[in-house]
Amino acid sequence: MTATPLLRSLVVILSCAMLAACGGTSTREVPAEAPDTMFTGDFITLDASRPRVEALAVRGGRIIAAGTRAEVEALAGAGTRTVGIAGVAVPGWADAHVHDADTRGQIIPGEPINLRGMTKPQILQGIAALARTAQPGELISGEGWDEGFFDPPVFPTAEDLDAASGDHPVVLSRIDGHSSWVNSRVLRQADITRATVDPPGGRVARTAAGDPTGILVDRAQALIARVEADGRGGAGDAVSRARATLQQYARLGYTSIHVAGVDLGTIAVYKQLLAGGLPVRVYVMARGDETVGHYFARGPEPDLGDGQLSVRSFKFLIDGALGSRGALLTETYADAPREHGLSMMTDAELDAIVKDARAKGFQLNVHAIGDRAVARVLDAFERGGVTPADRFRVEHASMVASGDVARFARLGVIASMQPVFLGEYSRWAEDRLGSARMRSVLPVRDLLEAGAVVACGTDYGASDSGDPITTLSALVAGRSADGAPGGAWYTPQRVDVDAALRCMSTAPAYAAFQENDLGALTVGRRADFTVLSADPYTVPADELRHLTVRSTVMGGRVTFEAGVGSVVRP
């Protein structure tokens, strides 16, 4: 789909503004020292002054020259090694909102099973099989179920699980992570009854008679924390798991990920891994009272391990998820006329957080999915005097009222969005919202045309896929993770390949204060790039989903090669 002149001009303006911060993009200045590595091939730079180059000269992980092969070869020294790339390179892809989830979808001992795309009978058959082999009383856990694949597409119950689970407690997290499906044993162990009071920001789903159904929404999931802790037993080594997970992100073509909601323990693991080099750059959104308090007292850590790890932002939640009816809406849910969703904090609490974050030099990233939640966050940012320099973010912005679109640009608030939700929302969102409100769902193009920065990610493991190819396909072709066309409501929000690539690299770099280092292939920036099997500008939109990642390079290091696997080479 061809971008409108306005959209294309806005993209160029944004790109040039970000590139200008680097102090120029000249490719003809002769570097003082010879490159240690020269990469040759076909490079898409996302630099308006020189969109394509044939070679990059790299020293110390940064690009010191970019141009024709002859220009760059003239700089080589005796120790320069040459690496040819097989494919077309784009500036390294970044996931602007992801979780430290295993992207392989494999069953790992002691870890939750992957329920994505399963029907209810398939899930129950799998639970029954696990119950027959698990140790007596051992917890069975899973994640990723979506009632959109059920027939009928309604929330399941504890009774559904009871026949399959035997004497095992079962906790199955919905795809969005904002609700859990549990069996009756878990309800008994957690003492959840008709007398249980809904916690603030949470809901125990109930029958007409008031009995718990087995669905716990948002903060009601904390009611089963003790049951989960008692049943998990020994988990695998945290460092090994984190290393394997980060390697999987490199395999998918990522050079950076923004991890949403990280505690002190996980940050400590990332710091431990720095000694051997991280396979992807990690931008942390710290979450939790202990973690936030720790960093408020000590200040940001913006550049650990020479740009591999950054801790300078906080994540807070103001509402829940649309699928669980926890997203905060202005009008009631179409399929639950008495429900508006859940509010996780008051305006006064949000105002205090905005004030404190600005005073301490931290970026604030607020989870807001429903249109009312998004409006409240923008209101708080405006009351707090937030400026573009703060780079505060709305995480998800899944529903944006038409009157709030322009406010993102005016306030300089970044929309951190996940186009892969196209698949999930096309399964059930119209039931939740009614057709009239679907125009406000995932308004990527509207926000870009208004001049806002849109940084894209996947929200994996709370989504159908963590693969950036699905993000590209959703943005340009309106295709879901399984390749199916999304709803007609999304068609007006599609963008062209150029805008999509910027949403996947340039904008996330800006959203992480890293535009001087990342987001384009120009002199002075880090040599981070993703090598694709074909040129995305020439591939038909509906065929983009068939692109593959040939290799991933971070700071001049090859972190993945197709046919070799996840590697980290000097």
**101 confidence band (pLDDT: 50, 70, 90):** low
Q: Cα angle vertex 349, ends 352, 315, to 5°?
A: 85
Query: Can you tell me the mean pLDDT for 79-94?
Result: 97
> Are 56 and 23 contacting, i.e. CB atoms less than 8 angstroms apart?
no
The larger pLDDT score, comparing residue 33 to residue 17, is at: 33
d(Cα 341, Cα 374) in Å, to the nearest integer? 13
> Are 107 and 113 contacting, i.e. CB atoms less than 8 angstroms apart?
yes
Query: Can you tell me the mean pLDDT for 386-405?
Result: 97
Query: What is the 3 state secondary structure string of 414-431?
Result: EEEECCCHHHHHHHHHHH
Mean pLDDT for all residues in the chain: 90
**24 confidence band (pLDDT: 50, 70, 90):** very low
d(Cα 442, Cα 421) in Å, to the nearest integer? 8
Q: Residue 263: exposed, middle, or buried by beta-carbon count in 10 A (0-12, 13-18, 19+)? A: middle
The yes-or-no verdict on residue 183 having pLDDT over 80 is: yes
**229 confidence band (pLDDT: 50, 70, 90):** confident
The yes-or-no verdict on residue 5 having pLDDT over 80 is: no
Per-residue tokens: 456: 């894209």
Per-residue tokens: 331: 């009008």
> What are the residues facing 314 on neighbouring strands?
286, 364
Give pLDDT, residue 129.
85
d(Cα 338, Cα 340) in Å, to the nearest integer? 7
Residue type, 230: D
**111 confidence band (pLDDT: 50, 70, 90):** low
The yes-or-no verdict on residue 236 having pLDDT over 80 is: no
The yes-or-no verdict on residue 109 having pLDDT over 50 is: no
d(Cα 115, Cα 142) in Å, to the nearest integer? 6
Query: Can you tell me the mean pLDDT for 402-407?
Result: 97
For domain 95-100+260-516, the CATH superfamily is Metal-dependent hydrolases (3.20.20.140)
* Backbone φ/ψ region at 178: left (φ over 0), alpha (ψ -120 to 50), beta: alpha
Give pLDDT, residue 565.
52
Q: Hey, what's the torsion of the CAs at 311, 370, 173, 217, to 10 degrees?
A: 110
Least confident of 16-25, 86-95, 258-267, 290-299: 16-25
**47 confidence band (pLDDT: 50, 70, 90):** very high
Residue with tokens 């002149």: 5
Q: Residue 451: exposed, middle, or buried by beta-carbon count in 10 A (0-12, 13-18, 19+)? A: middle
Query: Can you tell me the mean pLDDT for 460-484?
Result: 95
Residue with tokens 């193009």: 445
d(Cα 270, Cα 331) in Å, to the nearest integer? 42
Measured in Å, how far apart are the chain's first and last C-alpha atoms? 40
> Are 343 and 201 contacting, i.e. CB atoms less than 8 angstroms apart?
yes
> Are 308 and 333 contacting, i.e. CB atoms less than 8 angstroms apart?
no
d(Cα 110, Cα 410) in Å, to the nearest integer? 48
**271 confidence band (pLDDT: 50, 70, 90):** very high
Query: Can you tell me the mean pLDDT for 83-95?
Result: 97
d(Cα 228, Cα 12) in Å, to the nearest integer? 50
Give pLDDT, residue 6.
40
Q: Cα angle vertex 201, ends 200, 206, to 5°?
A: 90
**18 confidence band (pLDDT: 50, 70, 90):** very low
Question: Sign of the CA dihedral 78, 79, 80, 85?
Answer: positive
**Pairing of β 529-532 and β 254-262:** unpaired
Q: Cα angle vertex 22, ends 75, 302, to 5°?
A: 110
Query: Can you tell me the mean pLDDT for 254-282?
Result: 95
Per-residue tokens: 128: 């029954």
**568 confidence band (pLDDT: 50, 70, 90):** very low
113-232: CATH topology is Diaminopimelate Epimerase; Chain A, domain 1 (3.10.310)
The yes-or-no verdict on residue 348 having pLDDT over 60 is: yes
The yes-or-no verdict on residue 7 having pLDDT over 80 is: no
Helix (H, G, I), strand (E, B) or coil at 383: helix
Query: Can you tell me the mean pLDDT for 342-370?
Result: 97
* Other Cβ atoms closer than 10 A to 219: 19
The yes-or-no verdict on residue 320 having pLDDT over 80 is: yes
The larger pLDDT score, comparing residue 568 to residue 76, is at: 76
Least confident of 50-54, 177-181, 337-341, 540-544: 177-181
Give pLDDT, residue 30.
63
Q: What is the CA radius of gyration of the chain?
A: 24
The yes-or-no verdict on residue 110 having pLDDT over 50 is: no
The yes-or-no verdict on residue 28 having pLDDT over 90 is: no
The yes-or-no verdict on residue 32 having pLDDT over 90 is: no
Domain ranges of the chain: 95-100+260-516, 113-232
DSSP 282: E
d(Cα 232, Cα 227) in Å, to the nearest integer? 9
**132 confidence band (pLDDT: 50, 70, 90):** confident
* Other Cβ atoms closer than 10 A to 233: 11
d(Cα 196, Cα 211) in Å, to the nearest integer? 10
Length of the chain: 570
The yes-or-no verdict on residue 401 having pLDDT over 50 is: yes
**17 confidence band (pLDDT: 50, 70, 90):** very low
The larger pLDDT score, comparing residue 332 to residue 167, is at: 332
d(Cα 149, Cα 391) in Å, to the nearest integer? 38
Give pLDDT, residue 29.
59
